[in-house]
Structure 1
Amino acid sequence: MKILILGYSDIVKRRVIPSLLEINQIKSIDIASKSRNIKKNAKLSNIYKDYDEGLNKSDAELVYISLPNSLHYQYSIKTLNRNKNVIVDKPAITKLNQLEKIEDIIKEKQLGISMSSVFQYHKCWKKFKSISLKNSKEGTLVANFTIPKLNKDNIRMSKRLDGGAFHDMAIYASNAGYIFWETPLEKLSLFKSSENGLITGFNVIINYGRGKEFIGRFGFNKTYTNQIQYHGLNFSTKYDRVFSPPPNLETYITKETKNQGIKSYMIGYDDSFKNYLTYVIKYLNNDRKKLCREFFDQNYEYEKLLRQ
């Protein structure tokens, strides 16, 4: 399979390309970018200086869109209309009603689409979920994901390009509980804070019914935290670096109970991006409808936050 990457973002350089180089099913890589400093690699085939030129000239059947948030929807539509499958960085949409348009094209052309939100593909997430729910399906899931102040020229600080903490992190807020309990939300409360018209933080409380609740704190301009905890009946579990564990991080889970104290479970190393991309390629070949169902299910949950 051949893949075309639109954009040469930091995440493409650090995580996507290294993963693609290790996946045998990917035979060659085209890149369309305005950057003049594209690093050569063993699978690099063609470089295009313009995104539309890449879409028009590349014969890749799969396109990875890693552009500013404001261009995700636009280039997803353009890619699908050129009969190519899509992987798009989070968030796939930034405005209401965009999802319906994507769904119409997918139904017409029978293509595949997926959103690159990869935390759930790490083996530590799977173990955290397993240990937590084995003891109690009723409880409170608490996530904290905050980062220090960004430079003014950072793309995430651009209101024009749909930056801000909400577009950067809300997919985690809408999907952590949904993926954990595998059930859609029933009620939610959302509280946003802004600076100079840009959302820099938000808190959310989501109820999933039957004693299941998610509480999340997300934002910029704070001490770095990246953690999720589950509080069940007479126990709690904790997983650090949940939303962005690097492949060289030795992950672990802690479980605390009243009678037995704290126990650690060493999970080890894993590459969530490689796992995710391997998964997408598998189901593009075997079951595109499954990929599309996951994409729309997760984004309709996200759209519920957009409506607030």
Structure 2
Amino acid sequence: MDVLIIGFSSIVRRRVLPAVLTLPGVTKIHVASRCGDPREMIPEQRRGMLLADYETALKRCPPCLCYVSLPNSLHAVWAKKALDKGHHVVLDKPAVTRLEDALALADLSTERGLCLAEANVWPYHPLAEAFQQVIREDGSPPQAVVAVFTSPPLNPDNFRYQPEFGAGALLDRGPYAVSSGRFLFGQVPARIACDIVSSEAQGRVDISFSTTLSYPCGSSLLGFFSLGAVYRNSLSMIGGRYACEAERIFTPPADFRGTVVVQQGNARHNVETASGDTFAAFLQHVMDQIASNDQAKFAEILVQDATVLDEMRKVAQHCLPEHH
């Protein structure tokens, strides 16, 4: 299968393209980019068309797997164009900025028999599997999950600070909160609370937020996420007879060998995990499901997560003064 990448973004250069190059099932890699030259990153024998125009790329490339990596507000437009041309589509997270776009794209992908997936890839690392293994061995879900992903301010020109491009921490980090609950509880939250802790651009760009997602099983996820705080990247969970925690879980480098600290009763031990390229594992899974014509689940997950994130944004309370 060929892969067409639309947008030569930082995440494409650092993670997506290196991951695609490891996949034996990928024949040619095409790139449409309005800035940057991917030529040196792609071996000649796998180098397809390198184009500067997205529309031209979609027309000239035969139907394949199209990875869209553009500013958030442009995802839906180019996903629809790709689906209309018969391409399977993977979108950077957040897949969309509006719930209605998620619903429309999912309907279109179903109608065309195509894949529509959001690249929220952290559950594909062995760290995440270690969390689920603890739950399976105990036989009961965690009572509480605490997710934290904060980082210092980005370059002021970054699209995450530009409202017209789908700015803010809720869109950028919210998918981690939503997917953490889905991954560990296997349920949709019954109640959602979300508060904007700080914002910029006269309140139009949320910089930090906290959230509590309460699930039908009686458990809760508590999260704090920020584009303007000291770096933290952690997930922990507490059950009746166990607890565990891990660092760098949401964005582990491809060569990262993580540690999960597990407590069972009064005994503590470390579970050392293997490294794992989350993007490669996710994309391989996508390609395998397409090959078996079993790709519909990806669109279902995308819509489910978009629905929860939409509700978080609706209930968010802009109650604090602007922080810089």
Q: TM-score, normalised by structure 1?
A: 0.95
Distance 2:135 2:193 in 1: 24
Query: Which residue does 1:78 correspond to in 2?
Result: 81
1:103-142 to 2 correspondences below 5 Å: 103-132=106-135, 134-135=137-138, 136-142=140-146
1:133 to partner: Cα distance: 5.0
Query: Which residue does 2:4 correspond to in 1?
Result: 4
Query: Taking structure 1 as reference, are residues 237 and 163 closer, same or farther at Cα in structure 2, changes over 3 Å only?
Result: same
Query: Which residue does 1:222 correspond to in 2?
Result: 229
Distance 1:172 1:36 in 2: 29
Query: Which residue does 1:277 correspond to in 2?
Result: 283
Task: Name whichever of 83-92 and 293-302 sits farther off.
Answer: 293-302
Please provide the CA RMSD for this pair. Answer: 1.5
Mark the runs of 5 or more structure 2 residues left unpaired by the alignment.
316-324
1:202 to 198, 202, 209: 209
Query: Which residue does 1:177 correspond to in 2?
Result: 181
Query: Which residue does 1:265 correspond to in 2?
Result: 271
Paired residues of 1:143 and 1:227 also in contact (CA < 8 A): yes
Query: Counterpart amino acid of 2:52?
Result: K
Query: Which residue does 1:44 correspond to in 2?
Result: 47
Paired residues of 2:63 and 2:86 also in contact (CA < 8 A): no
Distance 1:182 1:200 in 2: 28
Paired residues of 2:103 and 2:303 also in contact (CA < 8 A): no
Q: Indicate yes or no: 2:58 matched with 1:58.
A: no
Runs of at least 4 residues of structure 1 off by over 4 A?
Answer: none
Q: Indicate yes or no: 2:165 matched with 1:161.
A: yes
Paired residues of 1:174 and 1:305 also in contact (CA < 8 A): no
Mark the runs of 5 or more structure 1 residues left unpaired by the alignment.
none
Distance 1:291 1:235 in 2: 31
Query: Which residue does 1:20 correspond to in 2?
Result: 20
Identity of aligned residues (%): 27
Distance 1:265 1:226 in 2: 18
SS in 1 for 2:251: coil
1:249-306 CA deviation, whole Å, 9 max, x = no partner? Answer: 111100134522x311111211111100000000011112233333333333333324
SS in 1 for 2:273: strand
Q: Indicate yes or no: 2:102 matched with 1:99.
A: yes
Paired residues of 2:199 and 2:206 also in contact (CA < 8 A): yes
Query: Which residue does 2:320 correspond to in 1?
Result: none
Distance 1:306 1:54 in 2: 34
Q: TM-score, normalised by structure 2?
A: 0.90
Paired residues of 1:6 and 1:63 also in contact (CA < 8 A): yes
Distance 2:265 2:295 in 1: 46
Paired residues of 1:202 and 1:218 also in contact (CA < 8 A): yes
Query: Counterpart amino acid of 1:10?
Result: S
Query: Taking structure 1 as reference, are residues 303 and 11 closer, same or farther at Cα in structure 2, changes over 3 Å only?
Result: same
Query: Counterpart amino acid of 1:293?
Result: E
Query: Counterpart amino acid of 1:163?
Result: A
Distance 1:138 1:232 in 2: 4
Paired residues of 2:246 and 2:259 also in contact (CA < 8 A): yes
1:157 to partner: Cα distance: 1.8
1:91-123 CA deviation, whole Å, 9 max, x = no partner? Answer: 111123112211231232121111100011112
Paired residues of 2:106 and 2:300 also in contact (CA < 8 A): no
Q: Which has the higher strand share?
A: 1
1:173 to partner: Cα distance: 1.1
The count of aligned residue pairs is 307
SS in 2 for 1:268: coil
Task: Name whichever of 115-124 and 93-102 sits farther off.
Answer: 93-102
1:54 to partner: Cα distance: 0.9
